[in-house]
Structure 1
Amino acid sequence: MTGALAGEWTKLSTTRAPWWTAALAVLGLGGIGLGRALSTSDTLPPAALLDGASLGLLVVMVLATLAATSDHTTGTHRLALMADANRVRLFTAKAVVVSVVCALVAALGAGVLTLASFTLTHLSTDWTAADLRAVWGQPATWALGGLLAVSVGTLVRRSAFAAPLVVAWPIAVEPLASVVPKIGEVVGDWLPFTNALAVTNPATASATGGGIGHGPWTALAVFAAYAVAAALVAALVEARRDA
């Protein structure tokens, strides 16, 4: 397993695209929030700096998706199988590396926001439990988002289909599903990215701008359940596939 983890890290860290994508994600999370703080003289709580959190999550999910699909488009998946024929182990290694990278990127962005909250005088820095969860809940959410995205990429295998699916689901599919009469009332509070948003911003997490019917920790558990379920399906499918 150690060799598989090292191999996945090498593939991810030796190309420029992941580094640029990670920088864009940090800019989305930390930069947009910092820009908002600098552009207003109003007193803001730390949670108000998270305007770019959703954008950053989408960026790292695209990174995670491409980390999975690029193996098949470049042929490196076949080379990896020559070194280790255990497909489940290879998928697990990729999922672990990508999820950890996503969490670290989120932690860096959260650190920028935390620093801003202490250096900008018009920010409220009481740091209630909700404030801490809003900022430092990002690494957990992004790690789960990375796990979900790498699972989708593994299942679909084609960047042209997987990346648009990962992007379209939270910004188009879920908002539309939430407002469908009768159906939206049943499923709206249990959609994956609605719950991901509720971890850090429970008051406005739903597609209609209101809260959902359960708390942030339940929301994190729901999002985690989607991510783990997708990973299990991807592992089972990968184990039965040809190279």
Structure 2
Amino acid sequence: MSSAITNPTGTGRESVLANTSSYGRGRTAGAVAAEWTKLWSVRATWWCLAGSVVLMGLFAPALGGSMANNYRTDGVDTDVPIAHSSVMAMNLVQFAIVALAMLSMTTEYSTGSIRTTLQCVPVRGRMLFAKSAIIAPVMFVVGIALAVVGTLTTTPLLFEYADTDMGKAVPTILTAGVYVALVGVFAIGVGAAMRSAVGTLTTVFMVLAGLPGALAVSNNDITQKILDYLPSTAGQHLMDGGTDPYGRSAALLILLVWVAAAQVVGYIVLSKRDA
């Protein structure tokens, strides 16, 4: 028996057919398979992915070239890891990824297709897990691809300042994938709680950019401590491998706490409210 799962985006309202008999109606494998189908059957996914690549291809070399020019003007003799510009550019590019993760949840509420999804997968924690289980590996690959694009386009513009040590570049590229994956799962949790694209995007933007920007201008020790433990700051430490005030392991733990909190809140809202 096949169940029609409505396309979760506002573009191309075709019906996506998930063969639940092959996996078991409402079970985890069927839920994951349905989310995979929905993710790749809509144009919004491809637009978000293409947009993130274009943004990285623009911002990373611009940042790297500007950095090299400033060093040359100031007579600074230093080496810049070739993947460093990708880390800086990720602060902007990540919102294209957030949009993709967010839409996989919030658009189902705006179109009403969440009712069909929950009829097919009535266990709401399973539905939330299925969306997160699809977004995480996809975003991991996307994050790596973005870091590679940023590194390749930036390296020629660093000139004599380019530090081509792959022992530094490869961990940065891989952890960029981890960071993007975690941001995607974080957005899924926020989307489940907010149920609104505008509310989700506003909330995620404030957590990842607005609040860090506001705290960064303060010299207060307390606000600086808060800033150190926000997800975007932890992401920078994770990708750059910094040791002040913590290294990659602590940065990963901080990010996991933020993601777990978003998922728990999302699950609670899903369990307490009607579709």
Quick check: TM above 0.5?
Answer: yes
Is 1:241–2:268 an aligned residue pair?
A: no
* In 2, Cα distance between equivalents of 1:59 and 1:133: 23
The yes-or-no answer on 1:2 pairing with 2:29 is yes
Residue number in structure 2 paired with 1:55 = 92
Larger Rg: 1 or 2?
2
Choose between structure 1 and 2: higher helix proportion.
1
Aligned with residue 104 of structure 2, among 41, 47, 67: 67
1:21 to 24, 33, 48: 48
Aligned CA distance change for structure 1 residues 233 and 46 (closer, same or farther; 3 Å): same
Residue 34 of structure 1: how far off its partner (Å): 4.2
Distance 1:177 1:52, change over 3 A: closer
Contact 2:101 2:185 in 1 (8 A): yes
Question: Which structure dedicates a bigger proportion of its chain to strand?
Answer: 2
Write out aligned runs for 1:129-208 (5 A).
129=168, 131-178=169-216, 179=218, 181-201=220-240
What is the root-mean-square deviation in Å for CA atoms of aligned residues? 2.6
Which residue pairs with 1:207 in the alignment? none
Paired-residue identity, %? 27
Query: Is this contact kept in 2: 1:65–1:159, CA < 8 A?
Result: yes
Alignment of 1:78-93 (within 5 A): 78-93=115-130
* Residue 47 of structure 1, CA deviation: 2.6
Q: How many corresponding residue pairs?
A: 235
Question: Does residue 33 in structure 1 map to residue 60 in structure 2?
Answer: yes
Confirm or deny: 8 A CA contact 1:73 1:158 kept in the other structure. Answer: yes
Deviates more, 1:180-189 or 1:87-96: 180-189
Aligned to 2:135: 98
Give the aligned partner of residue 125 of structure 1: 164
Unaligned runs of 5+ in 2: 1-27, 73-78
Moved more, 62-71 or 110-119: 110-119
The C-alpha deviation readout for 1:80-113, integer Å capped at 9, x for no partner, is: 1121211111111011112222112112223334
Q: Which amino acid aligns with 1:22?
A: L
Q: TM-score, normalised by structure 2?
A: 0.75
- Kindly indicate whether the alpha-carbon contact (under 8 Å) linking 1:62 and 1:167 is maintained by their aligned counterparts in 2: no
**How far 1:44 sits from its partner (Å)?**
4.5
2-structure distance, mates of 1:215, 1:107: 20
Task: Report the counterpart of residue 39 of structure 2 in structure 1.
Answer: 12
